[in-house]
């Protein structure tokens, strides 16, 4: 996909949504779609493969939409953290199984991950809907005088 076709795609989608007069909804829909794609791909692929395959496609679109690339990178990292625990290929479960006692099954480990996955999805939603949590963090750090 070259740059002109990507620009045409963004312009076509943007014009379809802007006719309705709601820029926020357009941006929100794209963020949710990107996050869902990251979560699904993260269930089956390693994060390095996702970065090499998907980021060259998504990052120019994100920049054209006016999002901060650092914030989008943090959003990507939170998505990958969720996928690190999620079945069917959650690598953290296999690491834990290798050191767990023999009577603990892999299904038990995945069941135990449920609350943590829910917490990470809450953090993902907070990072997505409140980008100032990641962008203005330096303002909250106490300074030494």
Q: What is the pLDDT of residues 118-137, one digit of tens each?
A: 999 999 998 888 888 887 76
Measured between alpha carbons, how far is 108 from 116 in angstroms, rounded to an integer? 14
Q: What is the pLDDT of residues 8-63, one digit of tens each?
A: 766 665 665 555 556 667 777 888 888 999 988 888 888 888 899 988 888 888 88
Q: What is the pLDDT of residues 60-87, one digit of tens each?
A: 888 888 888 888 899 999 999 888 888 8
| pTM exceeds 0.95 | no
Length of the chain: 145
What SS3 class is residue 134?
A: helix
pLDDT at 138 over 70: no
Please report the pLDDT score of residue 24 as a whole number. 65
- The structural domains of the chain, with segments of one domain joined by +, span 3-139
pLDDT at 95 over 90: no
Q: What is the mean pLDDT of the chain?
A: 81
Please report the pLDDT score of residue 12 as a whole number. 64
pLDDT at 139 over 70: no
The DSSP secondary structure of 33-80, one letter per residue, reads HHHHHHHHHHHHS-HHHHHHHHHHHHHHHHHHTT--HHHHHHHHHHHH
Match 């120019």 to its residue by tokens. Answer: 60
Residue 99 tokens read as 């050191």
């Amino acid at each position: 996909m070259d740059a002109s076709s990507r620009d045409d795609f963004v312009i076509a989608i943007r014009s379809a949504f802007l006719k309705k007069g709601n820029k926020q909804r357009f941006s929100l829909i794209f963020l949710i779609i990107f996050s869902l794609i990251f979560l699904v791909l993260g269930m089956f692929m390693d994060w390095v493969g996702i970065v090499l395959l998907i980021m060259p496609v998504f990052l120019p679109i994100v920049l054209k939409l006016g999002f901060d690339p650092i914030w989008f990178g943090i959003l990507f990292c939170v998505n990958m953290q969720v996928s690190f625990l999620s079945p069917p290929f959650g690598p953290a479960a296999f690491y834990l199984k290798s050191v767990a006692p023999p009577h603990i099954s892999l299904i038990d480990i995945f069941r135990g991950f449920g609350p943590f996955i829910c917490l990470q999805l809450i953090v993902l939603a907070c990072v997505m809907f409140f980008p100032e949590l990641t962008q203005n963090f330096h303002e909250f750090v106490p300074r030494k005088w």
